[in-house]
Structures are given as C-alpha cells and as structure tokens.
Structure 1
C-alpha cells in the first residue's frame, strides 16, 4: 500500500456545495476527475489522470477501511464511508465517500466515487476510531460496508448473514408453514379428544 508521508496538521474544510467526483478503472487508476477534486486536492489534472487513486491517501487512514471498500466493490455493491484524504501540499480533508461500480456496454468498467462534506460529528467519530485501528488496538471495532461497527462474537456464526433476501423470505415462509401445521395438528388433536 502506498503511504503518502508529506503531511501537515492543517485541515482543509470542504464547502457545503463541494461535490468531489472521480472515476477509476478496475485497478484504481484515475480516468476522470471534476473541478472540485482539482481545487480541493491541489493536484493538477495531469498529475491525477492515469495515477493511482491512492495518490490522495492520507497515512492516518487504516488499511482496514480500504480492504473493506475493495471487498464491498468486488461483491458488486456500493460502499459509503468516511475518508481522510491528503492534499498535494500535505494538508488534509475529510469526505463522506460514496463509491460504486459503473458499467459501460453491460461490462464492469470501473468505479465512480462521489464525495461530499461530512458533519463535524462524523469526522470526530471516524478520527477517533481510525486512531484505534492505526494503533493496532481497535478492540471489538471493525469496518464493515464503510461503517465502524462493534464486532459481536456470535455474529460470526450467524448462518443467515450470507443468505440473499429471497432465501431469507423462503426460510421465513417455510418456518411459518411448519408452525401452522403444528398448530393445526394440535387443534385437530384437541377436537378429537373433545368428542
């Protein structure tokens, strides 16, 4: 993983109207950027197009966040999470990143990222949690689908978490059918004893 070490403690605060957009190919190489991306990051178009998107990666970002992002994207699902990025001059900025696969001619072509200004509460929460990951001491925290969540031991053994919605509905309908048969059977048994 690339570590961009030239950093300052100066935060660049996004405007409410900022909407940072970029596209990458399947390997994370930048193919498109908008003007807000150029203005906020401080990089030139020539420095960004064709470069790996991790050119703006801040060293305070835990590798677990990007591992989670790539896992989610490889499952063909969108990812939303807090990201601390690095400007060219070493300053940093926080974004709420929404990354999704995009298609051209029915083929997966790459990934599109739209980033906006997060609230100060979102920044503070992410910063505190990411510091724990960086210190290798996240406790029971994990990053799942871009969110920082508490890991529950029993959740690892939950067989339904891998099921599709259709499979879950079939299971619920099957369970309800079995319960109806049991209740019907008990009712019939009660009626026969009453006679």
Structure 2
C-alpha cells in the first residue's frame, strides 16, 4: 500500500452503536482489524494486516496529535483522540479513538488496541477541525518537518496551558 491517495472530501460515517477495532504490534503494524473497520476503510484483511497503521493517515491530521498519541502509549497509558483517516478511494471518516497498550501475561506491552466510536459531530466541526487546521498550518510553515512538529506541539501545549488542562482531560471534556 505505497500508493498516494488523494482526499475526495467525502465523509463516510458509521453508526453510533458500532465500534471499529484494530490491533497493532509495538511498532504500529496492523495485526487485526474487525469487519466494520475493513468495511469503512475499503481495505480487505490481506491488504491491511502487516501494514503500518499510518497507511490510512489523512493529510489533514496534524503530526503533533500523533506525537502525543505515541508519547502516551510509550508511557503505557490509554490515549484518547479525534482521528480522521482515509479510505481506499480517498473518502475520509472521523472517529473518537481510544488506543490502549496490549499486554502479555507478564504485563509487558506487546502491541496496541484501538477501539473507535463515532465522534460528536458538533465537536468535530466546531473544535477539532479548526484546531487541526491551525496545527497543520503551523507544521506546513517549516521546511524542516521536525521543526514544524515542534512548533505545532508547542502551540498545542500553550493552548492547553491557557485552559489549565492536559491533552487527555481536554479531549475527554469535549
């Protein structure tokens, strides 16, 4: 799956009682995905398993959000985030995701499990989309991707400081 997919601007939705599930190894390579996940993304099981989960990353997703996600997972915490992904044909779908470390019988992290619900549409439209656009715009101002990521993350940190909250509490409060 190395082809570039261009966004169509068309959103796919799933039901409020439905849950998209995927599991990855510690490096973020997909090891399992449920049928609804495959249906929404348009990928078959063979096309997904073994691929990096970021293969469906939407270009309007700020890198700083994924940095916070991975920082939380590396700290062995559950992480919550609003995520926009691409489908095989360039449509997109929004989710409210909970990503958790998966542990073996000795308590060692062996991978990650993500369960995604349909997000609050008002929150996505009024809060998340403008925030993500600002973060992506900041990232795009820099020729050096690492500098853009740092600037975007610094901006998000300042917003959270102004609200006297953490990223986790902010996301869960929406």
Segments of structure 1 that go 5 or more residues without pairing to the other structure are: 144-148, 156-160, 162-195
* Structure with greater Cα Rg: 1
Name the SS of the counterpart of 1:67 in structure 2: helix
- Indicate the residue corresponding to 1:142 in structure 2: 156
Is 1:32 the counterpart of 2:46? The answer is: no
Q: TM-score, normalised by structure 2?
A: 0.78
For the aligned residue pairs, the C-alpha RMSD in angstroms reads 2.4
Name the SS of the counterpart of 2:138 in structure 1: coil
Is 1:103 the counterpart of 2:103? The answer is: yes
Whole-angstrom distance in 2 between the partners of 1:52 and 1:152:
33
Name the SS of the counterpart of 1:142 in structure 2: helix
Q: TM-score, normalised by structure 1?
A: 0.70
Deviations for 1:127-180, whole angstroms, at most 9, x for unmatched residues?
Answer: 11000011108698516xxxxx72437x8xxxxx9xxxxxxxxxxxxxxxxxxx
- Higher relative CO (Cα under 8 Å, sequence separation at least 6) belongs to 2
The answer to whether the Cα contact below 8 Å between 1:3 and 1:59 also exists between their aligned partners in 2 is: no
Whole-angstrom distance in 1 between the partners of 2:103 and 2:124:
31
Aligned residue pairs total: 149
Segments of structure 2 that go 5 or more residues without pairing to the other structure are: 140-151, 167-174
Whole-angstrom distance in 2 between the partners of 1:79 and 1:126:
16
Deviations for 1:37-61, whole angstroms, at most 9, x for unmatched residues?
Answer: 0111000100000000011110100
